[in-house]
């Protein structure tokens, strides 16, 4: 199963393995990684699963959709060049080992 490391805002590292096809938002909410909320249930309808993707993995992701772009403008913590919504990133072998950093606030 692909591995994902969430780095919480306080620096705590939270490695999680999740089934291929599950989103990084789901990997966090189902494993008690509290810095991700996922209020809309994964429909790209809020911006409470905001993460900063480690630069080494950024190019391996599909670019954000128009809707994700719009929602990224609504993040509670500042949007950076590596900001993404974790509900839009599906675990798969191509991004095994991906590291994402969590923002200070989600809402």
| Distance separating alpha carbons of residues 18 and 66, to the nearest angstrom | 26
| Shortest spacing between CB 56 and another protein, in angstroms | 25
Residues that bind another protein (CB under 8 A): 19, 21-23, 26, 29-30, 32, 38-46, 65-67, 70-71, 74, 90, 107
CB closer to another protein out of 17 and 55: 17
Nearer to another protein, 38 or 103 (CB): 38
Rounded Cα gap, residues 48 and 25, in angstroms:
9
Start-to-end C-alpha separation, the chain = 30
């Amino acid at each position: 199963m692909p591995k994902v490391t969430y780095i919480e805002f306080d620096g705590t590292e939270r490695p999680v393995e999740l089934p291929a096809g599950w989103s990084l938002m789901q990997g966090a909410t189902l494993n008690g990684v509290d810095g991700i909320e996922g209020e809309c249930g994964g429909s790209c309808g809020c911006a409470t699963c905001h993460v900063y993707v480690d630069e080494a993995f950024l190019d391996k992701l599909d670019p954000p959709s128009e809707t994700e772009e719009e929602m990224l403008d609504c993040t509670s913590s500042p949007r950076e060049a590596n900001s993404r919504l974790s509900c839009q990133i599906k675990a798969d072998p191509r991004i095994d080992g991906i590291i994402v950093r969590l923002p200070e606030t989600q809402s």
